[in-house]
Amino acid sequence: MPNAEPMIATLNRGTRAPEPYGVHGWLKFLCVWLFSKALAAVVGAAFRLSFESIDPVETVMDVVLSATYGGFATYAAIGLMRIWPTALRVAKAVCFVDFVLALGDCVSAFLDDNPAGTKVGISSSILHGALLAYLYLSDRVRNTYSRAKLEAVSEEFR
């Protein structure tokens, strides 16, 4: 039966599951999460502006950093939803910064002997690490945004 293998491959060709593509599932969750982070950054900046600070330079720096972070998170969320090729890099950067900040919170809470803060820091680090791993390892992310890069390149040469 030397011809049996190609026949089986032909029969199974139509039943193969399509490769994951598009903004669905965890990728959509990530976009909503990025929007919520941007909203929290803007609300936090407005909250800090409502109080009189001892050091106005510190307040201005805090507001500028919050607005910058909120802008990057918003760009990443909109770009991921619209499948912009550069949005994936920005989303990875936002998730990496969040991961490092969560680890820093965890370490500072541990050094202050705050067990509740340490638990929150650990859980936050796990969430950010999982989202970062998802952006690097997911087939859906790879298929969606590698096609976007190819389409952008093909549009350049038309």
Within a domain: residue 30? yes
- Look up the pTM and report it: 0.72
Evaluate whether residue 103 is within a structural domain: yes
At 51 the pLDDT is 72
Long-range contacts: 67-70, Cβ < 8 Å, 24+? 67/41, 67/42, 69/37, 69/38, 69/41, 69/94, 69/97, 70/37, 70/38, 70/39, 70/41, 70/42, 70/45
Give me the domain span that covers residue 75. Answer: 24-156
What pLDDT is stored for residue 96 in this prediction? 93
Cα 91 to Cα 1, 87, 100, 126, 150, distances in angstroms: 52, 6, 14, 17, 19
Q: Is residue 13 part of a domain?
A: no
Query: Does residue 2 form part of some domain?
Result: no
**Is 17 inside a domain boundary?**
no
pLDDT of residue 75: 92
Residue 131: inside a domain: yes
Mean pLDDT in order along the chain per 10 residues (158 residues): 52 57 76 88 80 72 85 90 87 90 85 81 87 87 73 56
Whether 82 is in a domain gets the answer yes
Q: Are 33 and 132 in contact (CB under 8 A)?
A: no
How many structural domains is the chain composed of?
1
DSSP for 40-73 reads: HHHHHHHHHHHSPPS-HHHHHHHHHHHHHHHHHH
Residue 12 lies in a domain: no
